[in-house]
Structure 1
Amino acid sequence: MKMMQSKGHRIILITNEYPNVEKHLVAKYYDGIEIVFTDASLENFQTHQNLNNSFLMWKALDDLIEANEIKLDFVVIPDCGSEGFFMILNQTLYGKYPDIKFVVEVEGPMNMVAVKNRDSVDEHFTITGLMEEFTFRNSKYFTFPTEIMMKELKDQIKIEEINYKLVPNLVNNDFVPGAAKHNPVTKNIFFVGRLEYRKGADLLIQAFIQIIEEEKYNDAQLYFVGKDQYWNDYGKTFQEYWCEKLTSQQLSKIHFLQFLPHDELIERLAESRVCVFPSRWEPFGNVALEAILAGVPVIVPKGTGLAEIVDRDYDWLFEAENIGELKNVLKKALDETEDNLILRSENLVKRAKEVLAISEESFCSFLEETKEGKGIALNEKRHDAKLIFEIFSVYIQLTGNPGKKFKEMQKDYFKVNQLYQDISKFYAELQTQFDQVNKENLILKKYLNVLQNGKVSQ
């Protein structure tokens, strides 16, 4: 946002007013950017946070346009949690905001993340997944951080053509070369991220305990920096499981640091030889880019967004989920000379700067091209009324008061029903059958009248 503001664009940030939010700190962080907080008193969907957040976001946008008569060229909406659902619904269904171009920033849909992470997918996730799918199907403009994320979304929603631009994520400015003096001679291996299934923390810990069995690597240390998470497979958190499973000697070389503030994380990274990101699935990898900018070499898996961050000729890669390959690359990192580590670090920093430069240029050029009407000619009617009905039918089940909620939503979404009637072949066939039954009823009435009165009614 600050990047766009620096290029002369007027930027307005719409954000939810969460409990205990300190508005002055938000204003300070987004210095110079207009901020509009949603009105939490308008809460409509108390039992589903994402549905409610999306409604509040749309209401704030609609009020902003109506009250201030502001002409907006673009509205950029994040994919996670589908905050843009009601905005896209109003544009698609009711024809509102015909001149606004809604751009969806795809970084990893919440429902996709839940599936990849083996999380329990309940009614809340089901609704969010349907909201995300509707938003994707009915949006015309997208940005993706990596090629792999774009391909996965296209495969998921079964759309051949998408008007998009690859825009790598920007990262925190605290992570810059020289922020802390890097000491590559240590044997410290770092993992930074949530300790969850898709991040592959279990793969790293298994590779590490195999390595330290060799005397040559017995002085290596492994640090996990990130929030501990519950694993369905373990029936407990990651840290609890491995602290019970490993020997005291193994645990003496493994350290769980939990979440660290940026300044402390930078200091810790400076003490590491290599940072490992063993994800099973990753759309981009903000933390990997931050580690690179801090001057730390990285090990990343092939076939993920992480591999798109590093140079194509980068050799510290391994096949995702292959513990044997990960172990071999870890050995290479521990065996590398100090001079080679410094050279590798310098090359990676150069690559990271290129990625950030691409991000700034790509987003600005995409908006300009989109404003001028360039790009792919997309299908104007992708909306699926069945998706909308499914979203609210699941929500009705969630509330526990189906009769009352259904009557309320019938009033607000009457047009959804009308749309469904218009596009449904099944409805058209039923209508034809109904007309035929009506004709037969009229004939029967006339016949009965003849039987009863001896004459045909007029």
Structure 2
Amino acid sequence: MLNRRHIVIITRELVPYHYGGIGTLFMSIANLFCGAGHSVSLLTTVPETFDEHEFQLHYGDVRLVPVAAGDAADFVDYSPSGGVISTFALHYAFSVAETFCRNFSEDPPDIVVSADFGAEAVILMMRHARQVFARTCFVLHLSGGLRDALEVYHSGQQEDGYNALNEPRNKLVCSLEDTCFHLADMIIAPSNIAWQSVRSRLRVSNDKVRIIPNLLAPDYVKRTPPIGAADDRYILFVGRLDRHKGADLLLEAYLCYCARYANPAPLIMVGRDCHCLAYGRTFLEEWRERIPPEHRGRITFTGQIDHTEVRTYFQGASVCLFPSRWEVFGIVCLEAMVYGVPVLVNEGTGLAGLLGDEFSDYIFNFEHDYDAVAEKLHELLNGSGDPRTRGKRFQKRGLEIVSQGESEYLHLLDNCIKKLGKEDGKAALQTLDNSLEWLEIVTNISRYLSKDYQAVTRGLGVSEELATSIVREKRHNAVSLVRMITRFFQ
């Protein structure tokens, strides 16, 4: 007999209006739980172009709970590749908590699922640590935070260059994301390498983590076509054109392949162009000049396309490359595998975990092994082995990962073991290096935007007058602020 659960999923990424990895995953989780007979609510931002019918096509019977997030001017999308980084995160977290309390105070859900990126549920988790919604299990999905994105983004620049990680507003978001790991009752990591990266930095206990692979949308798996030989061979890349996704590493490897072998297969790169800090301009502005004239006709840049069109490209691809410098998992890579497309991935990332030992010869160091990647491309594209047999092996591996993920997510509903108590709330304070750093963050943000200043004072539970006094003599009053923060978790 089904033990029917009520689950609330929190994310700003609403498909099809935002096709990010978190939105795609959380849509799949919502449909999986709904399909199993559970009650699912999605707490999200509703865009101006929202269409109820379109929502039902993607989410079925999931209940939509719009976040009343206030002034739309504060909503500036964050881009890891150099877009404007808004300071609205704390405001949005307050709005999430207020919307949640307004809708679920009388009938709290059994489980709340949110992502680390953006710390959308951090204020709600802080209240939970104070025994509000004490019977609800708060599950945090390790999707990859702002710190990961910015570290990769800045890794290609000179040491004396600008680093957004040093901006107070981004320090605050990183601290809030870290706080979520300490406050969560349970953590889901899609790969062990992603979890070990967080654990080594934050010293969070292994006891509350579960390693569960990410999911694909049910319709994606059902519509997977039979594997056949492609009429026209080509190499495929799907992802943003930026440093994070390793688009530059891909082109270096591809040009090496073109230089070494006659009649190289063409390359199709699907994804939007992005500003690159190391270049001081967009990726395409840089690389359209760097690609030798004799090879420019072999490379096609499609720009960002509809997600359904990507499947068409998968159907005809001979091989797909994923050279990301960092990924916690790699949903698009899993999609390619389920379509029976062989994939080459970068080592030391969650992508490598998707392939496992069985496909270890498809894992490369894209930073240094251009020759090895070129040789593998030539091997795959020039008749070495039966492509259909190879494709079936990749598809089998992909479908096994999907099945494992679905089974473990459903099993999770009956095994959300809560680990509550005051120590969990107090542990959040350990994410701040020291009280003066926190105070410095509060002070600098208050100089930038008065709205953020008001949000911070609300979060700390102090009056604006008292906060202003602390700002004027921050070192003298640091102890007072620390006491206030500590009382917040008592």
TM-score normalised by the chain length of structure 2:
0.77
**CA RMSD in angstroms, aligned pairs only:** 3.2
1:151 matched to 2:196? The reply is yes
Question: Residue 329 in 1 paired to residue 376 in 2?
Answer: yes
Does structure 1 residue 304 correspond to structure 2 residue 349? yes
Instruction: Write the distance in 2 (CA, Å) between the matches of 1:316 and 1:402.
Output: 47
Note the C-alpha offset of 1:176: 5.4
| 8 Å contact kept, 1:85–1:131 | yes
Partner Cα separation in structure 2 for residue 242 and residue 57 of structure 1: 41
Partner letter of residue 164 of structure 2? Answer: S
Instruction: State the shift of 1:77 in Å.
Output: 0.9
Describe how 1:93-104 pairs up with structure 2 within 5 A. 94-104=130-140
With CA pairs under 8 Å and 6+ residues apart, which has the higher RCO, 1 or 2?
2
1:276-305 per-position Cα deviation (integer Å, ceiling 9, x unaligned): 111111111111111111221111122211
Query: What is residue 109 of structure 1 aligned with on the other side?
Result: 145
Q: Is the 1:211–1:217 contact (alpha carbons within 8 Å) kept by the matching residues of 2?
A: no
One-letter amino acid of the structure 2 residue matched with residue 108 of structure 1 = G
Q: Secondary structure at the match of 2:358?
A: coil
Structure 1 counterpart of 2:61: 32
1:142 is paired with a residue of what secondary structure? Answer: strand
SS at match of 2:428: coil
Q: How far, CA to CA, are the matches of 1:26 and 1:391 in structure 2?
A: 39
Deviates most, 398-407 or 103-112: 398-407
Q: How many residues align?
A: 417
The alignment partner of 2:206 has SS state of: coil
Offset at 1:318?
Answer: 1.0
Q: Is the 8 A contact 1:50 1:82 kept in 2?
A: yes
Q: CA 1:406–1:341 in structure 2 vs 1: closer, same or farther (change >3 Å)?
A: closer
Question: How big is the shift at 1:132?
Answer: 0.4
User: Structure 1: which 5+ residue stretches go unaligned?
Assistant: 425-458
Change (3 A) 1:272 1:150: same
Q: Answer with 1 or 2: which has the greater Rg.
A: 1
Q: Does residue 53 in structure 1 map to residue 99 in structure 2? A: no
User: Does the C-alpha gap of structure 1 residues 174 and 235 become closer, same or farther in structure 2, counting only changes over 3 Å?
Assistant: same
Give the structure 2 partner of residue 218 of structure 1: 263
Counterpart Cα distance in 1 of 2:456 and 2:141 = 32
* 1:349 corresponds to: 395
Does the Cα contact within 8 Å between 2:90 and 2:456 map onto a contact in 1? no
Q: Deviations over 1:287-335 (max 9, x none)?
A: 1111111221111122211111124221222124222332232222223
Shift of 1:175: 5.5
Q: Closer, same or farther in 2 for the Cα pair 1:248/1:407, shift >3 Å?
A: closer
Which of 176-185 and 54-63 deviates more? 176-185
Question: Unaligned stretches of 5+ in structure 2?
Answer: 1-29, 76-85, 155-162, 468-477
SS in 1 for 2:482: helix
1:276 to 317, 321, 324: 321
> What is the one-letter code of the residue matched to 2:179?
F
Percent of aligned pairs with the same amino acid:
23
Counterparts of 2:357 and 2:420, CA distance in 1: 29
Structure 1 pair 163–210 and aligned structure 2 pair: CA distance change class (3 A): same
The alpha-carbon distance between structure 1 residues 62 and 376, as it changes in their structure 2 partners (threshold 3 A), is closer
Q: Report the alpha carbon displacement of residue 419 of structure 1 after superposing the two structures with TM.
A: 8.3
Q: Does the CA-based 8 Å contact 1:81-1:110 persist in structure 2?
A: yes
Aligned equivalent of 2:46: 17
1:188-228 per-position Cα deviation (integer Å, ceiling 9, x unaligned): 111110111121111111111122123x4324211111111
Q: Decide which of 461, 465, 482 is 1:420's aligned counterpart.
A: 482
Cα displacement (A) at 1:344: 1.2
Cα distance, 1:270 vs. partner? 2.1
Report what 1:434 is aligned to: none
Shift of 1:242: 1.0
Q: CA deviation at 1:348?
A: 1.0
How do 1:39-188 and structure 2 match up within 5 A? Answer: 39-41=68-70, 48-66=87-105, 69-92=106-129, 94-118=130-154, 120-121=164-165, 122-172=167-217, 173-174=219-220, 178-179=224-225, 182-184=228-230, 186-188=232-234
Q: Aligned equivalents of 1:209 and 1:80: distance in 2?
A: 35
Paired AA for residue 357 in structure 1: S
How do residues 196-207 of structure 1 correspond to structure 2 at under 5 angstroms? 196-207=242-253
Does structure 1 conserve the Cα–Cα contact (< 8 Å) formed by 2:87 and 2:452? no
Aligned-partner Cα distance in 2 for 1:242–1:210: 15
Aligned to 1:432: none
Cα-to-partner distance string for 1:107-165 (whole Å, 9 max, x where unaligned):
11122122122273334322211110111222231001111111111112133434111
The answer on whether the counterparts of 1:297 and 1:344 sit within 8 Å (CA) in structure 2 is yes
Conserved 8 A contact 1:277-1:301: yes
Report deviation, 1:25: 2.4
Question: Which moves more between the two structures, 243-252 or 319-328?
Answer: 319-328
**Equivalent residues of 2:347, 2:364 under 8 A apart:** yes
